[in-house]
Amino acid sequence: MRTTSRVIGATKHIGVSRKRVEDPLMLMGKAKFVADIQLDGMLEIAFLRSSHAHAQISRIDLEKASKHPGCIKIYTSADWDTGVTTFQQHQGNLQPVYMPFFAGEKVRFVGEIIAAVVAPSRYLAEDIVDLIEVDYEPSPVNFDAEEAMKPKRREEELVHAEIPGNVYFTDRFEKGDVAKAFREADVVVKEKVEAARVSAASMETRGVIADWAWDDTLTVWSSTQMPYPLRTHIAHALQFPEQNIRVIALHVGGGFGQKCVFYPEEFILPWIANDLRKPVKWIEDRREHFLSAAHAKQMTMHMEVAMKKDGTILAMKCKTIADTGAYSEHPFGGLIDPCPGNAVLPGAFTVQNLQHETIAVLTNKMGIGPYRGTGMSGTTFAREMLLTKAARLLNIDIADIYYRNFIKKDEFPFLTATNQTYDSGDYHQVLDKLLKLSEYRKLKQQPRSLSSGRLRGVGISFFVEPTAWGSLAAEECGVRGITAHDTATVEMDPSGKVTVRSGQFGHGQATRTTLAQVAAETLGVRFEDVRVHEGDTDRAAYGMGTFASRSAVIGGGSVMRAASDVRKKLLKIAAHVMEANEADLNIDEGVVFVRGSPDRCMTVAELAHITFFDRFRRPSTDDVEPVLSSTRHYDPPLTYSNGSHFVMIELDPQTGEIQIKRIIAVEDCGTVINPQVVEGQMRGGISQGIGMAMLESLEYDKNGQLSNASFMDYLVPNALTLPDIECAHVSTPSPVTEGGIKGCGEAAMLSIHCAFGNAVADALSDFGILVPMSMPIGPQQVLDLIREAGTAKQ
């Protein structure tokens, strides 16, 4: 069968022309800071994207399109057939599958780039895209991961011919005597648990501008979370000196991991800018975003938990099948969900008998990438829902199961069943605080049924979050071969003002504020005297960027180390100038003084001036070089935050509608640098976690068409969905990181959805043991659970 398409993306199936009717919900959140950049002679780009999920391309006819008076040039794989978005990675039996910049003979998901059209405006470019004719020869679509794994008779049925069975990675792990533990169990709970495919759906979409200057230098503006690694990869792809490339990441309206994937557009635009010697721009619209920006979290977990009557967890088994889409997205690949997900299966518990299996499967969908909490969201949901069911079977509250199995405060450092080394924590104190704030025990004693006819439910959950993703951390989370250290430079100028150059890049985490606080406190200067540069490869320091709860720990740690070096040098100079013992000196609020004699003091500004300009008063350059700067590297071990969530809901058993009435979060992220920033992370993560729990799912049909590629159909939480979120803290500083800091960015998405699911099960408890085993948990699932309970009683 041969079909011809002259439309872009999936609009043929949706029935709306993108360029003619752009509703506000589709336009909402375009990459404003990139879009606002204006350069002389700048051209715009529109992409022809595949309207088929799996097909051979037998013909691309550019004749009509190229004759359009607005057409500058059209590019396809015939112009650049060697570009792919990833380097070779090595991990076990991994067979990485690279995403080409342009689809050539075959398309593998709806939204894959076939051609790029350059025109004076986006509207003209879209008109020209519609004139391109493509002949497709459709192949069978791999829609469901477990179906895709089944043997295929014909090569054309495979997503990639070189990957038999569509499985490109498997792994199996076992520790302890799992079989014996299951034989000795009083209760075994076994379930199939499903986590939906979701999008980070950040406030602003992606955008790229590339400008090749007269002096043969390239400037790229991109809404990336990783400016320096992107620069390195652009240099590799274009075979161009990296020193001549500048990547600028401006303020980005949300990233959440989705923007630390390297996409074809980030390479195509620099390449076109080089070819045309003109600046070029592309701003993603919301439909493109849903189709072609990394998806996340779709996994099926076949899980079993073995327990004693008293609630002791004896063993766990989990077979995790990840639907990773058509390509392995760089730099983390499709393993970013199932491998960390299985690594955190033990949670806060002492269980030492554990078995897990990881299977990464190719399907005809957009590939998956990191998104807040990665696949840990799915496996923690599976574990917690099985524990919720076990608690009902044993007639034990889940809080008591937690207490019975918690790692105790004096047992740290603790090696888990998956060989993660938890550094510190006080889990009992955290849960105590949550139960007290929420009055959980009191609420559990009250009837579920309210006078309104609605049902009230309360739920809790507990999490342990791996933070500080460096090289060692990635290894401990099951993602091998990742290098993720960072550097920072701290400089003090002759006026005593401080500049921090960081490899981090904040996109909502207030990293500039936090790193300035760290530098000011370490140096002893005023906060307002510190300026932080990030997100610009010509002004900052080489680093891996901001993601995976690493900015405060690794970014802050590298700044702390560099600032400590500058402080030591400044004190040595001050001791010489002030004729004092170095050990007796202190620095506070920009003043160096002798302890016990505050009148003997000098300002930091005075000492900085002497360092740079007064060779008669400063120490000999043989003793101290007259430069107040330091660059330091930091690649720490993994440190683990922990915390707990409480959710109270009201549920209508007639319609399945759920209203959230109260949310409480208690978190231990070690030393808290800025409570307001931490609570912003807590609340933001909870909002996204509730979206994942009750609303969000990217819905593909069996033809591989995405049916909800706009905010009219893809639902996210809003102010009406959520109550005011209450936050509280416990602090156990990490003994393995600079300053005792732990991360907090992923936390909520390892837990809040579990507390929500627990609350739903509690609200339905009068109907029997009804526990949701898939997300999102919406009205239909609630009604299905009630209906199944009624059927079971008949």
Please enumerate in sequence order all residues whose Cβ is within 8 A of that of 427, keeping only pairs 6 or more positions apart, or say none: 348, 402, 406, 407, 409, 462, 642
Lookup: tokens for 527: 């906060």
Asked if residues 441 and 435 have their Cβ atoms less than 8 Å apart, the reply is yes
Asked if residues 542 and 485 have their Cβ atoms less than 8 Å apart, the reply is no
Q: Where does 34-139+205-252+259-292 sit in CATH, by number?
A: 3.90.1170.50
Asked if residues 398 and 388 have their Cβ atoms less than 8 Å apart, the reply is yes
Nearest to 85 by CA among 275, 211, 261: 261
Tokens 């200067």 label which residue?
Answer: 525
Nearest to 235 by CA among 190, 275, 194, 266: 266
Q: Where are the beta strands (DSSP E) in 435-571?
A: 455-467, 486-492, 498-502, 530-533
Asked if residues 617 and 600 have their Cβ atoms less than 8 Å apart, the reply is no
The pTM score is: 0.94
Q: Using CA of residue 114, residue 120, residue 126, residue 127, what is the dihedral sign? A: negative
What span, in angstroms and rounded, lies between the C-alpha atoms of 163 and 184? Answer: 41
* Per-residue model confidence (pLDDT) at position 383: 98
Give the tens place of pLDDT for each residue, 707-718.
999 999 999 999
What span, in angstroms and rounded, lies between the C-alpha atoms of 258 and 261? Answer: 6
* Per-residue model confidence (pLDDT) at position 21: 35
Q: What is the dihedral of CA 397, 402, 405, 410, to 10 degrees?
A: -140
Expressed in percent and rounded to 5, the helix, strand and coil fractions of the chain are: 30, 25, 45
Please enumerate in sequence order all residues whose Cβ is within 8 A of that of 373, keeping only pairs 6 or more positions apart, or say none: 685, 689, 746, 748, 749, 750
Domain spanning 23-31+485-634, CATH architecture: 2-Layer Sandwich (3.30)
CA 459 to chain centre: 25
Single-letter code of the amino acid located at 512: R
If DSSP states are collapsed to H, E and C, what string results for 681-725? HHHHHHHHHHHHHHCCCCCECCCCCECCCCCCCCCCCCCCCCCCE
User: Which H helix or E strand runs over 269?
Assistant: helix 265-276
Collapse the DSSP code of 591 into the 3-class scheme (helix H, G, I; strand E, B; otherwise coil) and give the result: strand
* Per-residue model confidence (pLDDT) at position 32: 62
User: Which H helix or E strand runs over 273?
Assistant: helix 265-276
* Per-residue model confidence (pLDDT) at position 770: 95
Q: How many residues does the chain have?
A: 794
Please enumerate in sequence order all residues whose Cβ is within 8 A of that of 472, keeping only pairs 6 or more positions apart, or say none: 635, 636, 637, 638
* Per-residue model confidence (pLDDT) at position 328: 86
Report strand pairing: 245-248 vs 218-222: parallel
Taking residue 268's Cβ as centre, other Cβ atoms within 10 Å add up to 24
* Per-residue model confidence (pLDDT) at position 541: 96
Equal CATH topology for 23-31+485-634 and 34-139+205-252+259-292: no
Q: What is the mean pLDDT of each run of 10 residues along the chain (794 residues)?
A: 38 31 46 76 98 97 98 97 71 89 96 98 98 97 96 89 94 98 98 98 95 96 95 95 96 89 96 97 97 98 98 98 93 91 98 98 96 96 98 98 98 98 98 98 97 97 94 86 89 98 90 96 98 97 91 96 98 97 97 94 98 96 94 94 98 97 98 95 96 98 97 93 96 97 94 98 96 97 92 63
Asked if residues 770 and 786 have their Cβ atoms less than 8 Å apart, the reply is yes
- In the Cβ-directed half-sphere of 500, how many Cα atoms lie within 13 Å? 36
Locate the domains of the chain by residue range.
23-31+485-634, 34-139+205-252+259-292, 295-475+637-793
Supply angle C-alpha 324, 330, 336, rounded to 5.
45
If DSSP states are collapsed to H, E and C, what string results for 108-165? CCCCCEEEEEEECCHHHHHHHHCCCEEEEEECCCCCCHHHHCCCCCCHHHCCCCCCHH
What span, in angstroms and rounded, lies between the C-alpha atoms of 278 and 99? Answer: 26
Asked if residues 773 and 646 have their Cβ atoms less than 8 Å apart, the reply is no
Task: Specify burial of residue 478 (Cβ count, 10 A radius: 0-12, 13-18, 19+).
Answer: buried
* Alpha helices for 579-647 (secondary structure H): 604-613
Topology adopted by domain 295-475+637-793: Aldehyde Oxidoreductase; domain 4 (3.30.365)
Collapse the DSSP code of 577 into the 3-class scheme (helix H, G, I; strand E, B; otherwise coil) and give the result: helix
CA 249 to chain centre: 17
